[in-house]
Amino acid sequence: MTPKTQTQLLWALLVFLFCAATRSQLERDPVTHILVQLPALALVGWLVASALRKRIPVAHLRSDHGMSCLLIALFSIAFWMLPRSIDAALEDPQMELAKFLSVPLLIGLPLGLGWQHAHPLVKGFLKANALSMLGVLAFLFTHAPVRICNNYLVSDQERLGLGFLYAAFALTVLWVIPLFTGRGVGERDTIPSVMARRAKA
């Protein structure tokens, strides 16, 4: 096991322990519960996938462009975005345990394995879908006249809606910047290079 692999596994363990140790504090507020704890648990699975990627057979992932893993992650994300699932995790210890196990194993791990094999068009579609979903959730949570999650107040869900909006804005900036700077994509695909080629033509 290489030092890089050991470091990634160590970080995965530390993030998981952080989520477990601060469970009560994070779950007290819907913003930290949904926008901090859940992504952190998914990050645990992503780090494990990155650490063990060379040890896991990926022939099937290459053949289907990672779609099987991405579909597993998408359905799992959809489940944990349901207000009923969030309420159940707060009220039922078994659902809480299921959350701590399923989010890393069924969201973070499949994303970490399947993302690198996905076609660029699929990646673009998933990014656009994520932004639109965050936008819909932001509108829903800020305009709903009643409590969507029974364990949180209306004022809490309004703050969560704003959190979804800020998250959508941050992801938009994060994903758009490489198109202009050339980082993370090939030089031929950057917007400045495309404009330069058109000017020469």
Q: What is the pLDDT of residue 198?
A: 53
30 and 72 belong to one structural domain = yes
What's the mean pLDDT when you consider all of the chain?
A: 87
Look up the domain containing 186 and give its range.
Answer: 141-201
- Residue that is last in its domain, among 118, 152, 180: 118
Nearest Cα to Cα of residue 185 among 124, 132, 112, 108: 124
The pLDDT confidence band at residue 64, using thresholds 50, 70 and 90, is confident
The pLDDT confidence band at residue 66, using thresholds 50, 70 and 90, is confident
The pLDDT confidence band at residue 191, using thresholds 50, 70 and 90, is very low
Judge whether 50 lies within some domain.
yes
Residues 4-51: tens digit of each pLDDT? 888 999 999 999 999 999 999 999 999 999 999 999 999 999 999 988
Judge whether 81 lies within some domain.
yes
78 and 177 belong to one structural domain = no
98 and 149 belong to one structural domain = no
Q: What is the pLDDT of residue 4?
A: 84
- The token duo for 76 is 């799992």
Q: What percent of the chain has pLDDT over 70?
A: 86
**pLDDT surpassing 70 at residue 163:** yes
Nearest Cα to Cα of residue 111 among 123, 98, 96, 97: 123
35 and 73 belong to one structural domain = yes
C-alpha distances in Å from residue 98, one per residue of 20, 30, 77, 138, 151: 13, 18, 13, 26, 18
Q: What is the pLDDT of residue 170?
A: 95
Q: What is the pLDDT of residue 194?
A: 46
